[in-house]
Each structure stands twice: as C-alpha cells, then as structure tokens.
A and B are shown apart, each in its own frame.
Chain A
C-alpha cells in the first residue's frame, strides 16, 4: 500500500481504478461486463486495472459458472473500502486547502 505525500493512494491515481472502486463501493458485487458498461473501457484495459487492485487486496474475485459460462464477480474488501474512504477524505482535504 503506497500513499503519496498528500494522503492520496497511489493505487487510485488512475481514474479507471477509481471508477472501479466507486462502482464496487455502492454495489455488493459486480461482474466484468457491468463494470465495463459503467466505465466505458476496453476489456484488456479493465482486466489489467482489476488485476492491479486485486494485487493490492482491495478487491476479491470470485469465479463461478452460470449455465456453463464463466461469470467473474468482483467485490470490495474491507481494506479496499478503508483505502477508498481515506482517498476520498484526502481529496476533500486537498480541495479544501486549495480554496
């Protein structure tokens, strides 16, 4: 877990990763295609960002089969939620301090 000087998480520097976390913060679990839908990104791009978040232990991946089709669901972990909320607080403080 890397945190930059101003309290922002390095992991959320990318807006796509921030988007993934936002969607997962308010939904219990989302599958790949819904995430793709909300973020308007390509498969490969989304997959690599999801991998990065998984490495940080911010999200967990559950693979299941629905009608023999693979269905991958993503859920936010406790650490992930904490990190995301800290990041939001940091953003808030930054904006306040620049006013």
Chain B
C-alpha cells in the first residue's frame, strides 16, 4: 500500500523518466562532437591550402579538378564525422543497456535527414554550377535547420546549437569574403565547444 509522500514523488519521477526515455534520444556523445569539429577544421585547412594563392571561393566557375577536390574532401569529412557519431552513440547505448535502435532514435534521424538531404542536393547543384561562394552559407543554413529539428528529439540544447549555425550561415551569405572562415567556425569550433558542453553537462 502506498502512503508516503516519498512514494508519490517516486511515482512522478518514474513517469517523467519514462516519458523522456521513450521520446528522446539521449545517447548523443559529446566526444564525437569534438572529433567532428576537428575533422571539419582539418578539411578546411586542406581546402584552403589547395585554393591558396588564387582568389579562393569568389564569383567564378571552379575548374573540374577543384570541384572534385572540394567534393571528395567534403565526403571524407562527412563520412568520418557521421561514423564517429554512430560508433560513440552505440557505445554509449550499450553501456546504458538500451536498445540501439528505438522510436526516439528513428524520429531524431528522420527529422534530421530531411533538411540534410535537401541541403546536400543544394550543395551539389551549387558545386556543379561553380558557385563555390555559396557552399559554406548553404551548408550551414541547412545543417542549422536539421539541428533545430533534431532538438525536439534529443537534448533540447541542440536547438540553440542549430540556431547558432543558422545565424553563422546567414552571416556567411552576407560577408562572402569570410565564408570559408565562418564555415570553419560553425562546423569546426562550434562543434568542439558544443561537444565539450554536452560531455560536461550530461556525461560526467
């Protein structure tokens, strides 16, 4: 028989915990965010090196070679970052004894995938038209939208992280001369800061 206040409070705690666990994906790993940021910075460093000495990322068509270099670098960074995120999430879920693939994980991924895929195609179109200038702002904006969406299904802070990327994307669109630098700030530095923050807040 239940009598005490402690019992009622325990009931409420249980209710809250199940509601959250069954709707939110709480296995994002901060460390994988930091690593993703480092990959992005390495990618930017490499691309900047390739385009050095030319007016990189200006209003001009890119040569086929430049396009391939950009595309391959982007793919390498993306694949590395995503596989790192998956590996760390799976590890974290195993440790917590949760199923890797539940409704919350699915909801988060679908909600992220829609803006990301659209952004990916937009980036490819810009690339084939040689509009390299617009690649950083467009990728930042779509990524920001994806994160803003994902925030409903994981840590709420991801929403603010998304808004920050959106703002950087708009800035990159306006200050075109600095667009690659701003991209490095968003995908690199911001990821690292956010990863450390998640690790500190949720994984201690």
Give residues in A with beta carbon < 8 Å to B: 8, 13, 15, 18-19, 22-23, 25-27, 30, 33-34, 37-39, 88, 91, 94-95, 98
Contact = CB atoms under 8 A, between A and B. Distances in A.
Interface residues of B, number: 19
Contacts of A27: 22-23, 103
- Chain A at the B interface: SS class: helix
A92 B106 CA distance: 33
Contacts of B21: 38
B9 interface: yes
Given A15-B11, A34-B102, A34-B103, A94 B22 contact: no
B93 to A, nearest CB: 11
Nearest to B2: A13
B65 interface: no
B14 A18 contact: yes
Contact of B8 (A19, A30, A95): A95
B98 A37 contact: yes
Contacts of A94: 5, 8
B13 to A, nearest CB: 10
Contact of A22 (B2, B15, B99, B102): B15
A19 B102 contact: no
Given A27-B23, A91-B8, A94-B5, A19 B103 contact: no
Given A27-B23, A91-B11, A22 B18 contact: yes
Top 5 nearest A-B pairs (CB, nearest first) are A22-B18, A22-B15, A23-B22, A98-B5, A26-B19
